[in-house]
Chain A
Amino acid sequence: MNLNSYRFFRLLTNASVYVVLTFFAVLMLFPFFYMLSTSFKLPADTFRYPPRMLPRDPVSSAVPGFDEPLELYYVEYQGERREFALARSNIKVGTYAAPEAPGIVYERRLSEVSPTGGAMNQKTVLFNGEQEKLFDVEVDGQVVPMVLLSQTTVGEFIDPQNPEVKVTQNVRLSEPVENINWHPENYSEVIALRGLDRALTNTILVTILVVVGQLVTSVVGGYAFARLQFPGRNFIFVFYLGTVMIPFVMLIVPLYQLMVLIGWSDRLAALIVPWIFTAYGTFLMRQHFITFPKEIEEAALIDGASRFQILRTILLPASVPALATQATFTFLYAWNSFVWPLIIINVGNEKNHVLTLALNVLRGRASDTPNLILAGAAIAILPPLIVFILGQRFFVESVASSGVKG
């Protein structure tokens, strides 16, 4: 292989690598783009097929002689594609034919024909083996009794500049004139209508308290495991480690009963207090503190510093990345948790709903407005995403390292 063909080969592999990576990146991001774009749409726009990414609004135009602006549609007029305004819809049109000559059909509005012989005793005729009603249809100035073959609904479209020019065609099959328009008011609407503001407040409050509480208990606990000799330490540590793999659902029944016993069911305290004490977080902090050089601490001890002072003034300032990592983990866990709130907070008690619960309620109530549902979903998904983007670097690194060590 000569150098040029080698270079070409390298270029080709690199290009294909980027193609594969981009494909997966689009796959990963597409649902989020879909969520965001839909959350800015109008309800009617979300139900359109084929689906479109960008939110669009129907365009209306003021037409002389009409109080309200009329929606514009594309219509075929004298071989041209023109933007016409929909002046009237729901106009019923029938296809009529004389019983003797069913091949020749005439289209007339239902309002233009009258029953043959009057509405009270309308005449009928045997047509295709059935008795069909007869209608008086005017053809070239002559009235001919005909039968109604079929019936559709059309709209009357007029030229906005020249309202005399009219075209009738099926409204549903006509393509509306649209422009791209975003509807951020969907967010305020979903917040106001479905009480998402309260849920958002609750989620922030619960998340902050869980994160702070967990950091405190796992920092002091992790320090005890890493640095202090006390009887039972190794036993308790092994016990802690063993419980890390126990699935959380094992606990929901007894924890629920415990909460009922102490009167915390349906209370926000039940979403906070049990989750402050974590074996996994303590384990992570212990792993972090154990890497710390012992000598500094020993020097401080000789100088008469207490253990607490050492922890606060020496170890903690040097542990900001580890603390941030654990805070991010806990933040995600607390923010996204659903099963426990679902069990402990009543569906009816909307005052104490967190975001995930509110979304669950919203899903049932607003099933006809996907734009609002997905605006709600975006409210729940975006804050963790922002936290992730801010702390992206060491968050991903720490997930990686937990895998290697674990």
Chain B
Amino acid sequence: MTVMPDRSAHPTAFILRVFMVWRGLFALLALVAVLGLWIVPGLGASPWQKIVLSMALCIAALFSLLGLFDIAKRLHRGRTISLILDYLAFVACLVIVLNTGGVFTGIDALADTFGRGILYLGIIVAGYLLGSLSDRYSHRPATERWLGSVSKWIMIAGAVLFVWKIDAVNGLLFFLRNLLQPAGWIAVTGIILFGLSLWGMWHETTASRLQVKTHHEAMLNGWLFLSPNLIGFLIFFAGPLLLSFFFSFTDSDAFNPPNWVGFENYAKIFNIRFTGLASPDQLAREVVDTKIYDEVGRLRLGNGGILFAAADPFFWLALRNTLTFALFTVPLSVLPALILANILNSKLPGMKFFRAVYFIPSIAAIVGIALVWQWLYNATIGYINYFITQGVEFLNTTFQAGLVDPKIQWVSDERTALMSVIIIAAWQTMGFNTVLFLAGLQNIPPELYEAATVDGAGAWARFWNITIPMLAPSTFYVVSTTTIQAMQVFEQVFILMNPAEGPNNSTITLVLYLYRKGFINFQQGYASAIAWVLFIVIFGLTLIQFQRQRRSSIYES
């Protein structure tokens, strides 16, 4: 019975009472906002957005009331709830302030003036480098201190000049002027209120009053530290991923509300027919309904054959091309990498140089690389055909080989178009894979090789019986990442080919087809379905490799 007066006598009791009122007010405001959302006309939100927003606000109101009772009962859970709610509201207000202030869209305007400031950014970097140089003079404190202060002033001067050059003052004024809109100052008020509430709740005296333990602090710290990442991740990754799944069951076209169509998109993709042919060259329209189906390919068997027709032939062509691409690119970039890594693993001088050189193609922009190769592939003036011509002439003159110069029309010939893309991709990933293999090789204990040599194993036996099995984890990693990348081939094809589908659709790939469907035809529901099929294919391929790796990695552990 004596507990109550004690509590109210405590100096924090008043603050806690303010927090209880605040939680009640919070819940009330959230409910008012829900009401306003449905009553006020002309908000421009679709029913779906309204429903989602109202649900979020109602949940917030509920939790706020729960927090009110917890604080009344002096439970630490009240503090947790209070902090989380206020934090989320704070972040929301902050985003609204940044948005109405025009910060996000203002990046475009910043780009106008940013070019003038780049030079001064360079000055800041130079100042920093000078400062890091000062560490080398630790034996001469005077020089070190001098260098340190010089670097500091250079950096400050650079920063001031940079801010001045990019016209940051005008930008700030623009930002503040925008905040005068109702949404702006309401959100600023929100930031101040929620910020005050957070500060009060976070404070030690409040915390100790609510019996907060160290592990509660760690928990809140954990959520706080993860929150920027997690919120962004949910908005820009997990949410869109779920949306993508939803879209794949709709006829979404990006601009109108999507209609639910069930499995129609998937049904269209998988609407395929295998039909027997009376003769190898029988016309497709004689055996399938060409209003629905188109021929994808045919298998010629003696006097007959099998016709493969699909309602969406481009998808199956794209799948065929993508799988062919992966089937060639993976071995072409992995096997040479394995050999090169074994060579580089020798203790000869200069190996680090070669390793760095092999790595260079993988860091260059694919777009730029594809442009370079486009001219190398040029049938009349390109270097590749020139080298082939030289080679043919050399063979003809020295060995009387009688070869004919093929004069390959690399990118405009249906038979070589995909091969040209494969060569670029293999060239570009080979060095990266070499470095990965090399790291795996350096992890193999040398004792194994020594023991094998003592037992009389030759180089080949050592490679086959030690290197290959011990390298299995690296091989799995290399092969699966290369496969995943190869299945998503797009940029090389898009830049190299004109049109991107290549001659007679010979280089249409799954991602290219997805791009065409989603962003040229704006059939985004269908494009989402293609994306999910692509994901299933990639997932399946990775799973198969994983199983094989598990079975073969008997030497591990």
> Is A40 interfacial (CB 8 A cutoff)?
no
Enumerate chain A residues within 8 angstroms of B111, measured Cβ to Cβ: 198, 201-202, 205, 268, 351-352
**Residues from chain A with Cβ under 8 Å of B439 in the complex:** 399-401, 403-404
Cβ contacts under 8 Å, B194 to chain A: none
* B115 close to A28 (CB less than 8 A): no
> Which residues, 81 to 124 on B, are CB-close (under 8 Å) to A?
104-105, 107-108, 110-111, 114-115, 118, 121
List of A residues within 8 angstroms of B532 by Cβ: 250
A332 interface residue (CB < 8 Å to B): yes
B454 adjacent to chain A (CB < 8 Å) = no
Q: A28 with B225: in contact, given A254-B241, A257-B243 (CB under 8 Å)?
A: no
Contact flags A271-289 to B (C-beta < 8 A → 1, else 0): 0111011010010000000
Chain B, interface SS category: helix
Contacts of A221 in B (CB 8 A): 225-226, 228-230
Q: Are A220 and B226 in contact (CB under 8 A)?
A: yes
Query: Which residue of B has the minimal Cβ distance to A392?
Result: B356
B236 in contact with A255 (CB, 8 Å): yes
B226 near A336 with CB under 8 A, answer no
Q: A28-B361, A51-B382 are in contact. Are A406 and B477 (CB under 8 A)?
A: yes
Q: Is A363 within 8 A of B108, CB to CB? A: no
Question: Chain B nearest CB: distance from A317 CB in Å?
Answer: 12
A260 beta carbon closer than 8 Å to chain B: yes
Q: What total of chain A residues lie within 8 Å of the partner, measured CB to CB?
A: 109
Which residues of B are at the interface with A, using a C-beta cutoff of 8 A? 104-105, 107-108, 110-111, 114-115, 118, 121, 215, 218-223, 225-226, 228-233, 235-241, 243-244, 247, 252, 254-255, 336, 340, 343-344, 346, 348, 350, 354-361, 363-369, 371-376, 380-383, 386, 427, 430-432, 435-436, 438-440, 442-443, 473-474, 477-478, 484, 487-488, 490-491, 494-495, 511, 514-515, 518-519, 524, 527-528, 531-532, 534-535, 538-539, 542
Name the interface residues of A245-267: CB closer than 8 Å to any CB of B: 245-258, 260, 263-264, 267
State the A residues within 8 Å of B (CB).
14, 17-18, 20-21, 24-25, 27-32, 34-35, 38, 46-51, 197-198, 200-202, 204-205, 208-209, 216-218, 220-221, 223-225, 228-231, 233, 236, 239-240, 243, 245-258, 260, 263-264, 267-269, 272-274, 276-277, 279, 282, 307, 332, 335-336, 338-339, 342-343, 351-352, 355-356, 359-360, 363, 370, 373-374, 376-378, 380-381, 384-385, 388, 392, 396, 399-401, 403-404, 406
Given A17-B343, A216-B228, A404-B439, CB of A31 within 8 Å of CB of B369: yes
**Are A269 and B356 closer than 8 Å at their CB atoms?**
no
B218 and A256 contacting across the interface, CB-CB below 8 Å:
no
Q: A34-B383, A202-B111, A267-B107 are in contact. Are A250 and B368 (CB under 8 A)?
A: no
Q: Is the CB of B107 within 8 A of A384?
A: no
**24 A/B residue pairs, CB under 8 Å, sorted by A:** A28-B430, A205-B114, A217-B229, A217-B232, A220-B226, A230-B219, A230-B221, A233-B222, A254-B240, A254-B244, A254-B528, A260-B254, A264-B104, A264-B105, A268-B107, A269-B105, A277-B228, A277-B235, A339-B515, A343-B519, A359-B365, A363-B374, A378-B368, A403-B435
Chain A residue with Cβ nearest B226: A224
A32-B435 CB under 8 A given contacts A229-B222, A363-B495:
no
A-side contacts of B340, CB under 8 Å = 21, 24
Taking CB as reference atom, which chain A residue is nearest B99? Answer: A262
| A384 to B368 alpha-carbon distance, docked (Å) | 12
Complex CA gap A401/B439 in Å reads: 7
Contact A230 B218 (CB under 8 A): yes
**Complex interface: chain B residues within 8 A of A373 (CB):** 371, 375
Separation in Å of the B429 CB from the closest CB of chain A?
Answer: 12
A230 touches which of B222, B238, B375, B376 (Cβ 8 Å): B222
Residues of B within 8 A of A50 (CB): 386
- A269 near B358: Cβ-Cβ < 8 Å: no
Q: How far is A202 from B386 in the complex, measured between Cα atoms in Å?
A: 38
- Report the Cα distance A223→B443, complex, angstroms: 28
Q: Supply 13 further A-B pairs (C-beta < 8 A) apart from A17-B348, A338-B366.
A: A205-B107, A224-B221, A228-B219, A236-B226, A236-B230, A249-B514, A252-B514, A269-B105, A277-B232, A374-B371, A380-B365, A403-B439, A404-B474
Q: From A32, A268, A403, name the one whose CB has the most chain B CB atoms within 10 angstroms.
A: A403
Pick the contact of B435: A220, A254, A355, A400 (CB < 8 A): A400
Cα-based distance from A385 to B361 in the complex (angstroms) = 9
Whether A336 contacts B427 by the Cβ 8 Å rule is: no
- Determine if A338 and B232 form an interchain contact, defined as CB atoms under 8 angstroms apart: no
> Contacting B440 at CB < 8 Å: which of A18, A204, A404?
A404
**Closest CB in chain B relative to A186 CB, distance in Å:** 14
Nearest neighbor of B383 in chain A, beta-carbon distance = A51
* A224-B225, A343-B519 known; A51 vs B244 contact (CB < 8 Å): no
Whole-angstrom distance between the Cβ of B2 and the nearest chain A Cβ: 35
- In-complex Cβ contact of A257 among B254, B386, B478 (8 A): B254
The answer to whether A250 touches B244, judged by C-beta atoms less than 8 angstroms apart, is: yes
| B233:A21 contact, CB within 8 angstroms | no
Instruction: Specify which of A209, A246, A264 is in contact with B241 (CB 8 Å cutoff).
Output: A246
**A28-B427, A247-B534, A381-B364 as given contacts; A307 in contact with B221, CB under 8 Å:** yes
Q: Is the CB of A48 within 8 A of B381?
A: yes
Q: Are B348 and A14 in contact (CB under 8 A)?
A: yes
In whole angstroms, how far apart are the Cα atoms of A403 and B440 in the complex? 8
Query: B357 touching A253 by the CB < 8 A rule?
Result: no
Q: How far apart are B435's CB and chain A's nearest CB, in angstroms?
A: 5
Q: How far is the CB of B50 from chain A (nearest CB, A)?
A: 14
Question: What chain B residues lie within 8 Å of A35 (beta carbons)?
Answer: 368, 372
Query: Top 6 A-B pairs ranked by shortest CB distance?
Result: A277-B232, A230-B222, A400-B439, A228-B222, A221-B229, A254-B240
Q: Are B383 and A380 in contact (CB under 8 A)?
A: no
Interfacial chain A residues near B228, Cβ < 8 Å: 216-217, 220-221, 277
Q: Judging by beta carbons under 8 Å apart, are B534 and A403 in contact?
A: no
- In the assembled complex, the Cα of A53 lies from the Cα of B380 at a distance in Å of 16
CB pair A17–B365 under 8 Å, yes or no, is no
With A204-B118, A254-B247 known to touch, is A385 a contact of B363 (CB < 8 Å)? yes
Complexed CA–CA distance, A47 and B381 (Å): 6
A191 to B96, CA, bound (A): 38
Q: How near does chain B come to A220, taking the closest CB pair, in angstroms?
A: 4
A396 touches B531 (CB 8 A): no
CB distance A249 to B531 under 8 Å?
yes
Contact B236 A273 (CB under 8 A): yes
Question: How distant is the Cα of A209 from the Cα of B106 in the complex, in angstroms?
Answer: 14
A254/B438 in contact, CB under 8 A:
no
A380 in contact with B368 (CB, 8 Å):
yes
B517 to chain A, nearest CB (A): 9
The residue of chain A having its C-beta at the shortest distance from the C-beta of B351 within the complex is A21
For the complex, give the distance between the alpha carbons of A245 and B412 in Å. 34
Find chain A residues with CB under 8 A from B254 CB.
Answer: 256-257, 260
Q: How far is the CB of B249 from chain A (nearest CB, A)?
A: 13
B104 in contact with A31 (CB, 8 Å) = no
Bound Cα distance A102, B527 (Å): 71
Partner of A253 from B221, B354, B363, B518 at Cβ < 8 Å: B518
B105:A267 contact, CB within 8 angstroms: yes
Flag if A247 contacts B484 (CB, 8 Å).
yes
Q: Point out the residues of chain B lying under 8 angstroms from A370, CB to CB.
A: 375
- Say which residue of A205, A351, A388 sits within 8 Å of B359 (CB atoms): A388
A224-B222, A403-B440 given as contacts; is B354 within 8 A of A336 (CB)? no
Known contacts: A29-B357, A217-B232, A381-B368. The answer to whether A339 contacts B491 by CB under 8 A is yes
- Cα A46 to Cα B348 with chains together (Å): 40
Q: Which residues of B contact A359 (CB under 8 A)?
A: 365, 367-368, 371, 495
A307: B residues at CB distance < 8 A: 221, 225
B229 pairs with A205, CB closer than 8 A: no
For B381, the chain A residues whose CB sits under 8 A away are: 46-49, 51
B495 with A360: CB separation less than 8 A: yes
B360 near A385 (CB under 8 angstroms)? yes
B218 and A229 contacting across the interface, CB-CB below 8 Å: yes
